[in-house]
Amino acid sequence: MTSRAVPRGPRDDAWFERLFAAHATALSRYFRRRLPSRDGGVGPDAEDLAAEVLATAWRRREDVPDGAELPWLYRTAGFVLANHRRKSRALPLATVPDEPDDVDPADLAVVDDEVRRVLGALSPRDRRILLLNAWDGLGGDDLAGVLGVSRGGADAALSRARSRLRAAWAEEGAGARTSAPLTQEG
């Protein structure tokens, strides 16, 4: 996925409307992939969190870099998601599971058990890098912007994550299957 640049000009209502039109759907998808579904559907959290990121972009509009709006939004989305996950919510006792759920919500969207086991063997950083690349189509400068590192650092991190994925895949015994869906070249 190539981010669409929002032309530089005054950071006014028209700028924000262009930013919203170019990236609101991508932000919603980002959260939908990473949040557990409620009753089989997507809860309002994904849309609410996307709106929170866009509100932050409006408040910090002078900080949004020209030509790298989507990576900036994804990086902000990562912070918003982390804050959302930290919030403790009271659950009725009937909804508390007997076993703790150690599955990362991003992995809940992955249906295949083998892929989930292999992803679970990776570090959270490697999982994040691989999923940003495979799910969100980020690579190169865009991935670097989300990770807050240089382009070379992002390329190296993606290469290392892919290498560890291949090793975990082979260890899992699923080596006969291809890991191409999670190692899209970017």
DSSP 79-119: HHHHHHHHS-----GGGS-SS---S-HHHHT---HHHHHHH
Residues contacting 20, CB < 8 A, separation 6+: 54
Residues 136 and 59 in one domain: no
Indicate which CATH number applies to the domain containing 34. 1.10.1740
Domain of 125, in residue numbers: 97-186
pLDDT, residue 111, reads 45
Averaged over successive runs of 10 residues, the pLDDT of the chain (186 residues) comes to 56 91 93 73 76 92 90 91 73 57 52 73 92 87 91 93 90 55 48
Cα 179 to Cα 110: distance, rounded to the nearest angstrom:
13
According to DSSP H, which parts of the chain are helical? 13-34, 45-59, 69-86, 105-108, 113-121, 124-134, 140-147, 151-172
Structure tokens at 47: 């849309």
Is the domain of 1 the same as that of 72?
A: yes
End residue of a domain, out of 52, 69, 93: 93
Distance between CA atoms of residues 35 and 42, nearest Å: 8
The CATH number given to whatever domain includes residue 141 is 1.10.10.10
pLDDT in the model for residue 7 = 53
- Token pair 């930013």 in the structure block, residue: 19
Q: What pLDDT does 100 receive?
A: 57
Count how many domains the chain has.
2
